[in-house]
Structure 1
């Protein structure tokens, strides 16, 4: 990319699957999903968002559209079309990219998807922004991140959290993260009607990021005309919290489509 580099890992042979994490998270959130996808003979790329993990923090933009552009650039680089699996903000970016270049998509999986701006009281927004100010910002994010796993903490959770904290401890990366938190998902919502790829929506039934997770998943499923998987007890990262439920469902969905 002209402004910096996007870090990714790729393994396997076969149809391409690109896994995109959410804001404040790392590609390691897909550590339980990648092995089943490889076993099912997919080629899997996991990426870090701009200003996160191994990616650079030298970019001018950190929003859904910028991430969507990175997704499309990676698919072109690796050779598509691809299935894109997006979590949280990564889902919003994946939707925008699917509308922008439908020929590069074979299917779409949206996990805990932020594809529209959820109404939040102004006072809570101010509290959240104040909580992210240094020096207590990283502590605030770690504390909040734990609440996004209400069901159970998966294997490797502590190390994953340490990796996130190490990533955000770098000054430029913390600034990039704070800018990312101000992202609007309106560009993704505006293009939902243009998405033609097969889709699957995966939502944790206890996702604390949504006032009514089941209703949000049903709304999105209706707009996309697609299947919805509601994972009991799961929060914002069901692919890590309950991989024994989510991984087989995603593999079945991908194997049911045309991935030539």
Structure 2
């Protein structure tokens, strides 16, 4: 009975998130790629194109707060579900950041859109960099949100926690509990609903396996291309991001290698664009304007 109630609650939460996305002109579309299909949505419009790639295990609704700001400012906003998650196919032969970057390019090609500014969170920051490196004609800038683009050292206790956390039927709970810890200051008002939707998605067949495969991948290939990156870049880092021993130093170190602008968001964790959406959204709009001088004006979004 308890399990049935939990599954029912997950379905309701997922439907609510879907309804929220639909209310923001986010009808799901798909691009077919060898091995599966990638889900995305597109606001349309003739303005500068911005595409958002969520972190592993997350959903494209991750960009639900900055998306309307960008759209209000005149941007055409595309958000996608990473291979393995959301409405994208679950099973793939390759879950690398590079492959995800190619998925983003495939979407742009299908839409006949671009050049685009690519936003990538966490490991997907690497996807944005790979897309820029391999398809420079379609990428005019990248926004790296809480970027993990190298292998971070783990303490023995951290390795043990991860091993135990993914060892049993409690692993979905473990994942979403850890996810919740990444919002140390200001979780979004719909945090509980989004958490339930992520849990429901991870319980679908093969999705947890996709997450485990992604987690096992080294980021050394992404780290190796950093000195080759020449695309205009903006790093947005939360000052309390628990994924880094020193988030500010991590941001500075990466910025020095790719010649990026930086924004340190005081109090934010791994999702600064969710916790401090107004502040981060306006900075992203300003960055997009630098790349497209004829682009949208920076107009504050009036929230009711």
Fold similarity call, TM over 0.5? yes
Q: Hey, what does 1:240 align to over in structure 2? A: 274
Root-mean-square deviation (CA), in Å?
Answer: 1.4
The one of 109, 112, 124 equivalent to 1:76 is 109
Return 221-230 or 68-77, whichever deviates more.
68-77
Query: Cα gap change, 1:117/1:259 in structure 2, threshold over 3 Å: closer, same or farther?
Result: farther
Q: Would you say 1:16 and 2:49 are equivalent positions?
A: yes
Deviations 1:186-230 (A, max 9, x none): 111111122221110000000000000000001111111121000
Tell me, in whole angstroms, the C-alpha distance in 1 between the residues paired with 2:154 and 2:208: 23
The structure whose Rg is larger is 2
Contact 1:64–1:183 (CA<8 Å) still a contact in 2?
no
Matches within 5 A, 1:193-208: 193-208=227-242
Tell me, in whole angstroms, the C-alpha distance in 2 between the residues paired with 1:222 and 1:236: 21
Deviations 1:15-36 (A, max 9, x none): 2111000012111110011111
Tell me, in whole angstroms, the C-alpha distance in 1 between the residues paired with 2:87 and 2:265: 30
Tell me, in whole angstroms, the C-alpha distance in 2 between the residues paired with 1:206 and 1:135: 30
Q: Would you say 1:156 and 2:156 are equivalent positions?
A: no
Deviations 1:28-52 (A, max 9, x none): 1100111111111111110111111
Matches within 5 A, 1:19-38: 19-38=52-71
Contact 2:132–2:140 (CA<8 Å) still a contact in 1?
no
Q: Would you say 1:7 and 2:39 are equivalent positions?
A: yes
Per the normalisation by structure 1, the TM-score is 0.96
Tell me, in whole angstroms, the C-alpha distance in 1 between the residues paired with 2:168 and 2:207: 13
Tell me the secondary structure at the aligned position of residue 287 of structure 2: helix
Tell me, in whole angstroms, the C-alpha distance in 2 between the residues paired with 1:133 and 1:60: 23
Contact 2:48–2:292 (CA<8 Å) still a contact in 1?
no
Q: Hey, what does 2:143 align to over in structure 1? A: 109
The one of 74, 87, 97 equivalent to 2:131 is 97
The one of 243, 249, 252 equivalent to 2:283 is 249
Name the count of aligned residue pairs.
Answer: 260
Contact 1:205–1:233 (CA<8 Å) still a contact in 2?
yes
Query: Cα gap change, 1:139/1:68 in structure 2, threshold over 3 Å: closer, same or farther?
Result: same
Tell me, in whole angstroms, the C-alpha distance in 1 between the residues paired with 2:293 and 2:224: 27
C-alpha deviation, 1:126, in angstroms: 4.2
Per the normalisation by structure 2, the TM-score is 0.82
Contact 1:115–1:188 (CA<8 Å) still a contact in 2?
yes
Q: Hey, what does 1:128 align to over in structure 2? A: 162
Return 163-172 or 177-186, whichever deviates more.
177-186
Tell me the secondary structure at the aligned position of residue 127 of structure 1: helix
The one of 174, 187, 194 equivalent to 1:140 is 174
Tell me the secondary structure at the aligned position of residue 206 of structure 2: helix
Tell me, in whole angstroms, the C-alpha distance in 2 between the residues paired with 1:184 and 1:5: 24
Contact 2:122–2:147 (CA<8 Å) still a contact in 1?
yes
Q: Which runs of 4+ in 1 moved over 2 A?
A: 121-127
Q: Hey, what does 2:152 align to over in structure 1? A: 118
